[in-house]
Structure 1
Amino acid sequence: MDFDLVVKNGFIVTAAEVHPPGLEIGVKNGKISCIGVGLPQGPNTKVIDAEGGYITPGGVDSHVHLSQRNCPTGDNWETGSRSAIAGGTTTIIAFVSQEKTNDSLIPVLRDYQAKSTDQSYSDYGFHMILTNPNKTILEKELPMLAKEEGITSVKLYMTYEPMKLSDRQLLDIMTACRALGMTTMIHAENSDMIDLIIERLEARGHTEPYFHAFARPQLAEAEASYRAICLAEIIDAPVLLVHMSSETALQHVRAAQGRLLPIHAETCPQYLYLLSEKLKKTEDDHYHGAKSVCSPPLRHEPSDLDCLWQNVANGTITTFSSDHAPSKYNVPGGKRLGLINGIPKFTKIPNGLPGVETRMPLLFNRAGRIEQGNRITMPRFVQVTATNPAKLYGLDGIKGSIAPGYDADLVIWSIEKENGVTITNSMLHHDIDYTPYEGMTVKSWPRYTILRGNVVWDRDNGGLIGKMGDGKYLKRGKGQILNGRTGNPVKGMATGEREHWA
C-alpha cells in the first residue's frame, strides 16, 4: 500500500499513553490507516518528519460562539475557524441560538446554516441554545434535529434575563434529551443573587469593569451548580456544567461523580491563567478592564487558579474548551457598549473573551512529565482537548484520537526547536483587536495542523495554508456518558419510587 501521508519520528500521544519513539502514522484517503514501523512510501507519498516532537490528535473545541447576533463585532465563521486551525483545533462546535420569540428551531437553524456553509476552515458541528422550550420543540423538533441534522446537544442558561429558564423548564428539557441520548450543557449561576448584588453595586456607584467580578461571586456558581446536579439526579439525566470556575462548585461535581452520577464539567483557559486584576483600569486606559469581562468572571486569588489546575489533573474536569465569545474593544458596538457618556457600566459590556486559537497552546504549556514541573500529563492533555469532547458530543470513532479508522486530524508540536513563543495579538488569526494573553510566553505552538490528511497549517512555511471551505459539517451521533452512569437510586426515595412518575 502506498500511503498519501506518513508522519514519522515523533512521540504519538493518545488519551491512554505516550507511545515510544519509532512509530509512524500512515494516512490514506483522509483516514488514519495504520500505525507501525517502516511504513512503505510511494512516489506520491508526502512525508512529514516530526523531528522528535509530540503528535497529538487535532483539537475538538466544543464551546465556540461564531456569527451570533449578540456579538455583532465578534468573529464570523471564516475568521473564527481559521484561528482554530492556526492553534491546532480541527473541529469546533458552535451555537445556534434560539430567542424567546422563536416558537420553532428550524428557521433559526436554517439561518445559521447559511452563515456557516462553505465558510469554515475547520470541521464543525452545532449545539442548540434553547430559551423557549415549547411542547412542539421538545416532542417533535429535537428528535428531528438529532436524527436528520445530527445535532445531539443543547445548551441551557440559569442566568441572563433573555435566556434563563425556570427549574421546571430545565427538568422538561433534561427529560427530553435523556430519551434522545442528547448531551445537555448548562450555564449554572444563580440569577437572583447576581441581580441583587448588581442593584446594590449600582446604587453605590460601583460600575467600573472591575466590579463585574464582585457581581457574580463563586457562591452564585456553586449554588446553581448544586441545584443543576439535583435536577439532573431526580430525572436521571447526564449533564455537562460549562465554563466552571468555582472551587465549591467543582466540589459539588466531584462529590456527584463519587456517587457515580453522570455529571461532567468543563473549564476554559481564562480560569487557569487570569485573575480579576485584569478587570482593573490602567494608567493609560481607565476602561481597559472591559477587555476581560466574561461570565463566570475571573476569580480573585492564585489559589483559585491552582484549584482549577488540580481539577483538570484529577479528572473532575471532563473537557477543556475556549468559550470563544469575543467582541472587539476599539469599535462601536463592541466592548465599548459599556462606556456610556464617558461613564463605565459593567452590566452593558458584552461578555466573552477570544481564545479559540490560544486554547491548545495554553494547556500544552503545562503538559508533560509531572516530575519536570508540569501540571498535567500529556495523555490528560489529549483527553480534555480532543478525546473526551469527541466522545461526549457524538464524534467517537471519527475525531479525537490517533487510531486506525479515525480522521487523520493531527497536531505536531516542536518544543526543542524554540525557547518559547510569546503570544501577541498580531500573530493571531481571529478578527479581534486584542488578546487577554498578550505578552504571555508558552513553551510551544503547533508546527503543523493536519485536517483529514491535509496540512492546513505549516508554521515554518507560510502559516495558514488551508482555505475557507475545507471544513465540513459533522452530523453527530449520541453522546457518551464519561463519568458515572444512569440508573442510580436517589437517596431518600423508596425502591421503585421514581418509576411511578418518571
Structure 2
Amino acid sequence: MFDLVIHNGHIITASDVLPPSVYIGVKNGVIQTMTTEILQGKKVIDAQGALITPGGIDSHVHLDQDNAPTGDNFESGSRSAVAGGNTTILPFAIQPKGEYDFQKVVDDYHKRASVGSYCDYGFHLIVSDPTTESLQQLSQMIAKEGITSIKVYTTYPRYKLNDSQLLELLLETRKLEMTTMIHAENSDVIDFINGKLQEKKMTGTYYHSVSRPLEAEDEASYRVISLAKVIDVPILIVHMSSETALSHVESAQRNLVPIYAETCPQYLFLTSDYLKQGCCHHKGHGEDPFEGAKYVCSPPLRQSQSELDGVWRSIQNGTVTVFSSDHAPSQYDNPKGKKLGLVDGLPHYKQIPNGLPGIETRLPLLFCYGVETGRITPQKFVELCSTNPAKIYGLSDRKGTIGIGYDADFTIWYPKGEMKEFILDNEMLHHDIDYSPFEGMKFTNWPRYTILRGQVAWDRDNGGVVNKLGDGNYLKRGPSTLAGPMKEINPILA
C-alpha cells in the first residue's frame, strides 16, 4: 500500500514520454516505483490522460526584499508558487554594501523565511561588495548553508561590480564549484542615456525602455562571457531579453564553452508598447496614464514582436538553459510601490521600482503558448522549467525529474481541451500584488494538481491551495551537475 498512487497520465521527463499504463507509487515523500502493474494507494489520482510533469523549479524569484517593501513575502510568494505548479523556489539573500559577514546576511533571510513556505526553497547569495576576506566566507556558505550559487550585477549603483571584481569573484567560485549568475547590462551606456533623457525631461514610463537599449545587454553579455573564458569557469546570464545578446551565448556553446542563459515570460509575450499606457487587453486601459509603470523591469521589454520571436527561437534551438519568472513585484497602487515613480504628479521612470510579478503564471504561460501550440515539446518544457534548474543549482539528486528515488514532486495538467478556457484576471491569482502583467491573456490549461513530496499542495477543482504554510523545507544544495568536470586551473591564476 503506497501513500500516493498516480496513474493514467503521460509522464514527461526531459528526455522521455512514458505512457498512461505506467503507475507511480509514492511512499514517505519519495517515488518508490514506476511500473505497469496496478498499484494500490491510500490516495489515488487518475490523471485522465493528461500530462504529468515534474514539479516546477522557479530558480529566480525575489521575496521579502528591502528594496521592494510592497512585494511578496515568503507566505504570499510561496502560496502563489504552488498555485502555479511550482514545488521549489530559489529567492535571494542580498549582501548590502558594507556588510561583509555573509552568515549574518543569510541568517537575516532565514528569519524572513521563518513565517513558513508552502513549497520547498533555497537561497542564492547576491554579492554586491566582494573583498578578499568576504569571499573566503563562501566555503562556509557551502558547508553550513548549502548555498552553492551567487548572483552579481554589472549595473545598478547599489549592486554593480567592475570587471576586476568580477574576475576575482569568478576565480573564487571556480575553485569552490559555485554557480555564478550574472545580470549583464552596460551600466555606463545606461547612465549616459539616462543623463540625456533627464536633460530633455523625457521621464515618462516608456523612456525606461529607451534608457536600456539592446546594445547595453549585447555588450555586457559578450563582456561577461569573455571574463568567464579568462577564468575558464561556467556562468549563467540571467533574464536575457534579446536574440542579439543570446547569440553570444549560442556562439560560446557551439565552441563548447559552458555558458548558460536564462529567460523569462515577459521577454516572450510583452513589448515596450505596454510601457506607454499599460496592457491593451486590461480593463480600464487608457484611464490611467501612469499604468505603464506596471511593466518596468530590467532588462526592459523590447520593441517588437520580431524581438520576442527571436527569444522563442533561442528557446527552441537550445540556447536558453532555464526559464524562470524573475518574480520581483511591487504593488502598483501604493505610494511605496510603483507609484514611487509619480513625483509631484509627474512620472519619473528612474524612481519606479523594477520588476514584475510572475511566479504563478510562469509555467501556465509556457505550457499554453509553448506546449499546447506545438511551439516546444513537452520534454523541452520539463528541461527548461524543472530539470535544468535542478542540475545547474545542485538539486538534481532529488528534484527536477520523475524517477525512482526522487522527491515525489509533480505538476498534473488537464487533458488538452478539457479545461474551460479563461481570460486571466489578477483576482484569480494568489500573490499579494494588485496586478499581473499578463492580465487579459487567454489560458487553455493550468496546473490541476501540484504535489509536493507526495502531498497535494494545490487542487484547482477542490479548494485551491490545500497544504499548510510551513510544509515547504529549506534545501541545502550541492554543486552544479550541468557543467561537467573543469580542466585544471591555469597555474598563473591558482
- Give the residue type in structure 2 aligned to 1:450: I
In the TM superposition, structure 1's runs of 4+ consecutive aligned residues that sit over 4 Å from their partners are none
Contact map agreement 1:238 1:481 (CA 8 A) in 2: no
Once the two structures are TM-superposed, the CA of residue 118 in structure 1 deviates from its matched residue by 4.8
Determine the C-alpha separation between the residues in 2 that align with 1:50 and 1:21.
9
In structure 1, the partner of 2:9 is 10
Query: Residue 279 in 1 paired to residue 280 in 2?
Result: no
Match of 2:181 among 180, 185, 188: 185
- Give the residue type in structure 2 aligned to 1:19: L
In structure 2, the partner of 1:471 is 472
Determine the C-alpha separation between the residues in 1 that align with 2:485 and 2:141.
25
Taking the TM superposition and a 5 Å limit, the aligned residue runs for 1:335-346 are 335-346=338-349
Once the two structures are TM-superposed, the CA of residue 248 in structure 1 deviates from its matched residue by 1.4
Once the two structures are TM-superposed, the CA of residue 104 in structure 1 deviates from its matched residue by 1.4
Determine the C-alpha separation between the residues in 1 that align with 2:24 and 2:38.
8
SS at match of 1:186: strand
In structure 1, the partner of 2:282 is none
Deviations 1:246-271 (A, max 9, x none): 22110000000111111000000000
Determine the C-alpha separation between the residues in 2 that align with 1:339 and 1:58.
40
Deviations 1:310-335 (A, max 9, x none): 11111100000000000000011000
Once the two structures are TM-superposed, the CA of residue 485 in structure 1 deviates from its matched residue by 6.7
Contact map agreement 1:26 1:39 (CA 8 A) in 2: no
Determine the C-alpha separation between the residues in 1 that align with 2:240 and 2:19.
35
SS at match of 1:209: coil
Once the two structures are TM-superposed, the CA of residue 273 in structure 1 deviates from its matched residue by 0.5
Match of 1:349 among 348, 352, 357: 352
Determine the C-alpha separation between the residues in 2 that align with 1:309 and 1:441.
19
In structure 1, the partner of 2:68 is 71
SS at match of 1:276: coil
Determine the C-alpha separation between the residues in 1 that align with 2:422 and 2:224.
40
Match of 2:368 among 352, 365, 370: 365
CA root-mean-square deviation: 1.3
Contact map agreement 2:150 2:179 (CA 8 A) in 1: yes
In structure 1, the partner of 2:197 is 201
Contact map agreement 2:23 2:36 (CA 8 A) in 1: yes
Determine the C-alpha separation between the residues in 2 that align with 1:105 and 1:486.
27
Taking the TM superposition and a 5 Å limit, the aligned residue runs for 1:446-457 are 446-457=447-458
- Give the residue type in structure 2 aligned to 1:40: L
Contact map agreement 1:262 1:486 (CA 8 A) in 2: no
SS at match of 1:252: helix
Match of 1:124 among 121, 124, 128: 121
Once the two structures are TM-superposed, the CA of residue 90 in structure 1 deviates from its matched residue by 0.5
- Give the residue type in structure 1 aligned to 2:351: K
In structure 2, the partner of 1:492 is none
Query: Residue 499 in 1 paired to residue 474 in 2?
Result: no
- Give the residue type in structure 2 aligned to 1:177: T
Determine the C-alpha separation between the residues in 2 that align with 1:463 and 1:377.
28
Query: Residue 239 in 1 paired to residue 235 in 2?
Result: yes
Once the two structures are TM-superposed, the CA of residue 448 in structure 1 deviates from its matched residue by 0.4
Determine the C-alpha separation between the residues in 2 that align with 1:362 and 1:27.
29
In structure 2, the partner of 1:408 is 408
The more displaced of 472-481 and 445-454 is 472-481
Determine the C-alpha separation between the residues in 1 that align with 2:55 and 2:39.
24
Deviations 1:295-348 (A, max 9, x none): 000001101111111111111000000000000000110001110000100000
Query: Residue 433 in 1 paired to residue 425 in 2?
Result: no
- Give the residue type in structure 2 aligned to 1:135: T
With the length of structure 2 as denominator, give the TM-score of the two structures: 0.96
Once the two structures are TM-superposed, the CA of residue 129 in structure 1 deviates from its matched residue by 0.3
In structure 1, the partner of 2:36 is 37
In structure 2, the partner of 1:163 is 159
Runs (5+) with no aligned partner, structure 1 = 489-495
Query: Residue 334 in 1 paired to residue 333 in 2?
Result: no
Contact map agreement 2:57 2:86 (CA 8 A) in 1: yes
Determine the C-alpha separation between the residues in 2 that align with 1:291 and 1:74.
13
Once the two structures are TM-superposed, the CA of residue 108 in structure 1 deviates from its matched residue by 1.3
Deviations 1:105-127 (A, max 9, x none): 11111111011025100100000
Query: Residue 318 in 1 paired to residue 321 in 2?
Result: yes
Deviations 1:48-67 (A, max 9, x none): 01011100000000000000
SS at match of 1:499: coil
Contact map agreement 2:84 2:360 (CA 8 A) in 1: yes
In structure 2, the partner of 1:143 is 139
Contact map agreement 1:98 1:131 (CA 8 A) in 2: yes
In structure 1, the partner of 2:96 is 99
Determine the C-alpha separation between the residues in 2 that align with 1:90 and 1:268.
18
Determine the C-alpha separation between the residues in 1 that align with 2:375 and 2:147.
34
Deviations 1:415-441 (A, max 9, x none): 332242321100000000000000101
In structure 1, the partner of 2:300 is 297
Contact map agreement 2:212 2:300 (CA 8 A) in 1: yes
In structure 2, the partner of 1:307 is 310
Once the two structures are TM-superposed, the CA of residue 361 in structure 1 deviates from its matched residue by 0.2
SS at match of 1:265: strand
Determine the C-alpha separation between the residues in 1 that align with 2:214 and 2:257.
23
Contact map agreement 1:26 1:33 (CA 8 A) in 2: yes
Once the two structures are TM-superposed, the CA of residue 21 in structure 1 deviates from its matched residue by 2.4
The more displaced of 110-119 and 157-166 is 110-119
**How many residue pairs get matched?**
486
In structure 2, the partner of 1:174 is 170
Determine the C-alpha separation between the residues in 2 that align with 1:449 and 1:368.
18
Taking the TM superposition and a 5 Å limit, the aligned residue runs for 1:47-62 are 47-62=44-59
Runs (5+) with no aligned partner, structure 2 = 278-284
Query: Residue 90 in 1 paired to residue 91 in 2?
Result: no
